[in-house]
A = this chain, B = another copy of it.
Amino acid sequence: MEEKSVTGKFGRDLLRGSLDLMVLSVLAGERKYGYLIQKEVRAASGGRVELPAGTLYPLLHRLEDERLIKASWDDATGRERKWYELTAAGRKRLAAQAQEWADYAQCIRQLLGAARVEPAT
């Protein structure tokens, strides 16, 4: 009966401004290629954040232009893939954005708290 799921997809505007953060954070460990990043973000978000190809690749190209990530083609895993890894600037940006996001979240919580808006639990 398709119980009204608590886990609907998040609206596009919510994602805005944090997609960079998400991608940078999944790249914090080993190098990864686009398709893998897509699957990891989906998994890590419990299926609630979907990065369509038309969002993901332009985003990766932009991050590369900004020298936050570095790409290299490599078939070491048996298939030619474009691998991305964080640059030093990328790590710095990741830390900065994580901090900014934490501050922002705190900010919103205060606003909601002041309005005595408690999401139903």
Contact = CB atoms under 8 A, between A and B. Distances in A.
A116 B14 contact: no
Interface stretch (A5-13, A58-66, A68-76): A5-13
Given A117-B28, A119-B99, A105 B107 contact: no
A104 B22 CA distance: 12
A108 B18 CA distance: 8
Copies in the complex: 2
A48 interface: yes
Interface residues of A, number: 45
A7 to B, nearest CB: 8
A119 B92 CA distance: 11
Interface of A: 6-7, 10-18, 21-22, 25-26, 28-29, 41, 44-46, 48-49, 94-95, 98-105, 107-108, 110-112, 114-120
Given A25-B114, A105-B108, 10 more contacts: A11-B100, A14-B101, A29-B115, A44-B114, A48-B103, A94-B117, A98-B112, A98-B119, A99-B119, A105-B105
